[in-house]
Amino acid sequence: MIERSHVLICSGSNCVARGAKSLRAEFEEHLSNLGIRHEIKLVNTGCVGLCEQGPFVIVYPEGVFYALVKSKDIKVICEEHLYKGRIVERLVFDEALTENKEVKAFDEIKFYAKQTRIANRNCGLINPDDIEEYIARNGYRGLGKALLEMTRMEVIEEMMASGLRGRGGGGFPTGLKWKFAYNNESDQKYVICNADEGDPGAFMDRALLEGDPHSIIEGLMIAGYAIGADKGYVYVRIEYPTAIEKLKTAINQAKNLGLIGNDIFGSGFNFDIEIRLGAGAFVCGEETALIASIEGGRGMSRNKPPFPAEKGLWDKPTIINNVETLANVPEILFQGAEWFAKIGTEKSKGTKVFSLGGNIKNAGLVEVPMGTTLREVIYDIGGGIPNNKELKAVQTGGPSGGAIPPHLLDLKIEYETLHEVGSMMGSGGMVVIDEDNCMVDICRFYLEFTVDESCGKCTPCREGTKKMLEMLNIISSGHGTLEDIDKLEHLAKMVKNSSLCGLGQAAPNPILSMLEHFRDEFETHVVDKKCPGGKCKALIEIFITDDCIGCTKCVANCPVNCITGTAKQLHTIDTSVCIKCGICKNVCPVDAIISI
């Protein structure tokens, strides 16, 4: 029986965490009860990107996009939509409903309309556990083309012509990296996929591994062919169990079809892939530390040169590429470098995937052509800032990046432009910060992270990050001086210039960029002893204004019982007891509680 309808259930980790796992069983049950189970195909797919609105169910051929779906909704979807053909409007993602209540298809929604999905071309569209669905979408054609129609050098030249640059943070031209490894003669070479993804809050690589593992396998094999390696490793953090499981399934299926193994496509090319698990240290994403970790050593960086392309894993020429970089590779070979090079800007080609988070309505994964402006990402795709708050900054590049102020929102996203304003592309974390945040506090968050993650090998990073965090703590406590800010800046520059690896070299970036764009906020902390964002506890008081309607909600929620007042009367806080936890602020229905 041919199915007339496909029901795609998002099974990315974010949706599973929101309860997507039980949805499939519900569908099975209700479709069977209605006697139409055989007419409908149920497909578990990878992340569709709009995580804030998950779990999702997408019904084809119409492309109807149901959001925030709960188990109990499935019965209605089965009975109404799948049985009687009546779309359940109440469950349709609100941005997919037009004013006249027409339902727009999945890819017509604003969130997707401005996106171009290359790396994510199959995510949310295919079942990652079924290699045939990947092949149906032209999977492994790029590999076939490389192995049968192109020389190794031609593959490298194709990559160079495409303009693809590393998506792991550095932005190094992928083709050029491959060429270095190609030119280094050796009896054995290796290719490694870097799936460590250590940037807190970033999950684009996880989504790719979970949603389309074959694209990474295929990309890695093409890289192997190009440089002359017959062995590949995928280095994944153990905190990604679903990704690891999908990857294992995919590798096994590829082996069974003879896509991994010996004499692939009769070309004489052999290739094998192994998964290596990392313990989740940020520094293990740095390529030399990653190699040390695969070799069984402690994950610590070493000096470069020699670069891995010369002396990498087991001292053999090795290339390391990021997950997203590799996901682009098969499509570039299949569609051609020229096609890819048309997308994006002069120096930054193709697309970039971002994990959009923080104070944003449509948090999730977005993939946009290079050259898209930050404004388009935040307002058109991300839906803007919730609760009518003002935008204060956009943070890109995670703990290695910086904050971009609102007057630079029309900046086109490119490696160079982001670098010029003191931030970086990074691996793709994009955190939207609204007015209720404090820049000193955010710097503290990132520095706490780098202090924890520093491997300790070199002094500037090991001691410097700690010292910088201490200085931030002093500023946040109100005991800082203007001189402290200058000292902090001085130290930050020193750590940046003298650390051994990228971790230490980039750790001061959040501080340096915040000082460049938000110096006045730091100064307010030390001169006026005030925290404009209302986050530094030592510098704020919590007050109840006259707007209080006396609902008593705050009283019931205060953990130290320091709020008094009778019902329907103005309430007050005993500031000598208040621990400034902010809970009352969050529960007050009329925003009568403020921190100043």
Partner 1 sequence: MKSLDDLKKIRDAAQSKVQMRGKNEGIRVLVGMATCGISAGARPVMNKFVEKIAEYNLDKITVTPVGCIGECAIEPIVEILQGENRTTYCRVDVEATERIIKEHLIGGKVVSDYVIGKYRL
Ligand X SMILES: Cc1cc2nc3c(=O)[nH]c(=O)nc-3n(C[C@H](O)[C@H](O)[C@H](O)COP(=O)(O)O)c2cc1C
> Which residues in this chain contact partner 1 in the complex, by CB under 8 A?
1-6, 8, 39, 41, 60-63, 82-86, 105, 107, 125-126, 130, 132-133, 135-138, 140-141, 144, 148, 257-259, 263-266
Distance CA 66, CA 77 (A): 9
Residue 291: its H or E element: helix 287-294
- The 495-534 site mask, x for binding ligand X (CB under 6 A), equals ------xxx-------------------------------
Does 172 engage in binding with ligand X (CB under 6 A)? yes
**CB burial string 262-293: b at 16+ within 10 A, e below:** eebeeeebebebebbbbebbbbbbbbbbbbbb
Q: How many residues bind ligand X (CB under 6 A)?
A: 23
Q: 322 or 595, CB closer to ligand X?
A: 322
| Residue 550, binding choice from partner 1, ligand X, ligand SF4, none, Cβ under 5 to 8 Å by partner class | ligand SF4
Does 594 engage in binding with ligand SF4 (CB under 6 A)? no
Q: Which listed residue (301, 345, 417, 509) binds ligand SF4 by CB under 6 A? A: 301
Distance CA 332, CA 330 (A): 5
Measured at the CA of 141, the angle between CA 139 and CA 145, to 5 degrees, comes to 155
Which range of residues in 14-22, 73-81, 319-327, 411-419 is near ligand X by CB under 6 A? 319-327
Whether the CB-CB separation of 365 and 47 falls below 8 Å is answered with: yes
Q: Which listed residue (170, 280, 386, 565) binds ligand X by CB under 6 A? A: 170
**Closest Cα partner for 357 from 377, 372, 343?**
377
Distance CA 551, CA 571 (A): 9
**Closest Cα partner for 329 from 137, 118, 152, 184?**
118
Whether the CB-CB separation of 503 and 286 falls below 8 Å is answered with: yes
Mark residue 261 as left, alpha or beta (left: phi above 0; alpha: psi -120 to 50; beta: remaining): left
CB of residue 268 vs ligand SF4: minimum separation in angstroms? 41
Could you say which DSSP state residue 389 is in?
Answer: P
Q: Which listed residue (287, 331, 376, 489) binds ligand X by CB under 6 A? A: 287
- Restricting to residues 405-464, which ones interact with ligand X according to CB under 6 A? 427
Q: 48 or 300, CB closer to ligand X?
A: 300
Which range of residues in 67-75, 194-202, 539-547, 549-557 is near ligand X by CB under 6 A? 194-202
CB of residue 490 vs ligand SF4: minimum separation in angstroms? 18
Within 8 A by CB and 6+ apart from 264, the residues are 143, 147, 221, 258, 270, 271
Q: 173 or 550, CB closer to ligand SF4?
A: 550
* Amino acid code (one letter) for 100: N
Per CB under 6 A, residues contacting ligand X are 166-170, 172, 194, 196-198, 282-283, 285-287, 320-322, 325, 427, 501-503
Per CB under 6 A, residues contacting ligand SF4 are 283, 301, 454-458, 461-462, 499-501, 503-504, 542, 544, 548-554, 558, 560, 562-563, 571, 573, 578-584, 587-588, 590, 592-593
